[in-house]
Amino acid sequence: MCGIAGLVSLSESDEQRRDAVARMCGAMQHRGPDDHGEISRGPATLGMRRLAIIDPAGGHQPMTSACGRYHLIFNGCIYNHRALRSELTAGGYPFRTHCDTEVLLAAFARWGEACLRRLRGMFAFAVWDEQEQSLFLARDAFGIKPLYYHHDAAANRLAFASELNALLAAGVVSGRIDPHAVAEYLAYLAVPAPHTIYEGVSGLGPGEYARLDAGRLEVKRWWRFLAADASPICRTAEEFHRELCARLDDAVQAHRIADVPVGAFLSGGLDSSGIAALMARAGASRLKTFSLVFEEEAYSEARPARQAAEALGTEHHETVLTGRQVAADLNRLLHAFDQPTGDGINTYYVSQAARTGGVKVALSGLGSDELFGGYPSFRDLPHLARWLPIWRRLPAAVQTATSRRLARGGVRSRKLADFLTHARDLHGLCSLQRRVFSTGLGYSLLHPDLRTGLTAPPHHPRLDDLPAELAGADSFQTISAWELRTYMADVLLRDSDVMSMAHSLELRVPFIDGPFISWLWAQPARFKSGGGQAKSALADALRGLLPDEILRRKKRGFTLPFAVWMRRELKPFLDDTFSPAVIARTGLLDVSAVQAYWRNFLVHRDDREWSRVWSLAILIAFLNRRTAP
């Protein structure tokens, strides 16, 4: 795991490029405290910070191919590097290290962009082709590892980095906030790729690659959901169960490869407990597991986590997280963000605990909800989609009156109003499902001047391309793809990367595994959904590895006691953040509307609103962090 950065420019001298890349790498020291490197060839300078996981002694970057033509910097891990190494060795490549970085370099040297489909892993990498004087950038299929870039065609310049904070440090990006991105953040708790919070800065999307040649940048998608998979489709539930068990074992085994200690997050839920159980079965001796617990008993999952740890015989570590600790760390947390986010604080603290507890790699249960129907959307949206045609036949006056009445209600009523007003089919519903603020409420929070000139469509931007990619998909596949491509990629994976790397911890997600997802995607929905019982297929696959109480436990999202802390320890920060002067300083938000929303939270005590209030507070603090003198 690393932080990578580069600058290709005909506008700067070699010394200027080196200085810019050095600043970017310096801003990412937390991503790679073990090693660093830099290389300049022609108009290109590449740099990196390394967290040494595989072949710590031999994996120095940037790495140059045996022929001298290609120069690589790489962030991530290639889990099938041993198999690829054997194939490439047979083809005559003279390997000098045992590192997966050199395997990736050799694969690119032999197969070019076609190597991407051969890679099993998480990655973001850059290759400078000295012969063609071109730059190649690529990102893994699901967006586990990030890559941001700024392309100035007029100046014939492209800068890129693993983090936005690093890209800003290069001195070639203005750092101006994009007002459209603020509106998108209010909608989705994140700025959807390829946009970022900054003007002129883009994110390479999941499953995309880019090529810079003679100043021209071309971005293409190399992975799609409906790509053909050679795996046979299971015909019976028994066959599916057997194959699922084997595939889960294979995914976890692949994600365990490392030359450093590997641990696991353990919340006590089915997902993390399942990963820990599969690791233990794969031979992890005295596995270290880590969980967060709280003084507020209603939120703490200490008991089920301890139960799972005891059953698996792990060396279990608990970290008590309090509102006092979060309040004391707010400045540090805000500094870690490279975009505003209302999520990820749990990952920040459990990653800190894991790194302090002696592991350099940790496995997470992220992703099973998206694959096994763990969200209510898998149940609710198909039903609503079937009713939409009937709703559309009602008189327009009835539709308008009903939607307006719903829009004045609580969280669920406002969500339903958006569905009924804007959705035409299942894709439309999916594009609205992850809105944090309803269309009307989100719009009202923006500064009046911004509302005047802003055209913010109600739907998620992926509605422009995802339906075509999913032509022929069933409803389960459709919802799964939307969850993976939006909330998973833009919020969960992004925040997991930022918060784990803040503590120099490599976080791996075995459920978000290319071969596993490709196989599972093709299987009948009735097997994946467990006959309508969320994640029962996964629970059946883990039977015998975990106590029945955990397997039968009702799904419960991992929630920090923020609704409590925001009225106690975090209230001084929130009172200050929602003060008129601080809101006004952003220049992008409506002071009265934002204040009213904060007061409403305090008066009505609707704990379902906490994440929206907190997300809004983080946005204000982030915007003022960028505008502070």
| Angstrom distances, CA of residue 233 to CA of 378, 387, 522, 542 | 22, 31, 7, 21
Q: Considering 2, 25, 77, 99, which one is annotated as catalytic?
A: 2
Q: Contact at 8 Å (CB) between 18 and 174?
A: no
Residue indicated by tokens 């203005």: 174
Alpha helices in 466-609 (DSSP H): 466-469, 475-483, 494-501, 514-522, 525-528, 536-541, 548-552, 562-565, 571-577, 580-586, 591-604
414: Cβ contacts below 8 Å, ≥ 6 apart: 406, 407, 438, 440, 441
Compute CA 101 distance to the chain's CA centroid, rounded to the nearest angstrom.
23
The sheet that has 70-78: what strands, in order across it? 63-64, 70-78, 121-129, 134-139, 208-213, 216-221
Q: How far apart are the first and last CA of the chain?
A: 34
Say how far apart CA 152 and CA 144 lie, in whole Å: 26
404: Cβ contacts below 8 Å, ≥ 6 apart: 417
Question: What one-letter code names the amino acid at 272?
Answer: S
Q: What is residue 461's DSSP assignment?
A: G
Which stretches does DSSP call E strand in 195-252? 202-203, 208-213, 216-221
Determine the longest span between alpha carbons in the chain, in angstroms: 73
The number of residues making up the chain comes to 629
Residue 456: exposure state from Cβ atoms within 10 A (0-12, 13-18, ≥19): middle
Instruction: Give φ, ψ of 204 to 5 degrees.
Output: -65, 130
Retrieve residue 58's tokens. 């031999």
Nearest alpha carbon to residue 51 among 101, 97, 95: 101
3-state class percentages of the chain: helix first, strand second, coil last, to nearest 5: 50, 15, 35
Residue indicated by tokens 């509302």: 451
Q: Is 2 a catalytic residue?
A: yes
Q: Count CB-CB contacts under 10 A for residue 509.
A: 22
Q: Contact at 8 Å (CB) between 378 and 370?
A: no
Q: What are the residues facing 6 on neighbouring strands?
A: 46, 160
SS3 170: coil
Compute CA 285 distance to the chain's CA centroid, rounded to the nearest angstrom.
30
Say how far apart CA 396 and CA 581 lie, in whole Å: 43
Task: State the number of CA atoms in the 13 A half-sphere of 503 facing the CB.
Answer: 24
Residue indicated by tokens 């904060």: 598
Q: What are the residues facing 507 on neighbouring strands?
A: 362
SS3 11: coil
Query: Annotated catalytic sites, by residue?
Result: 2
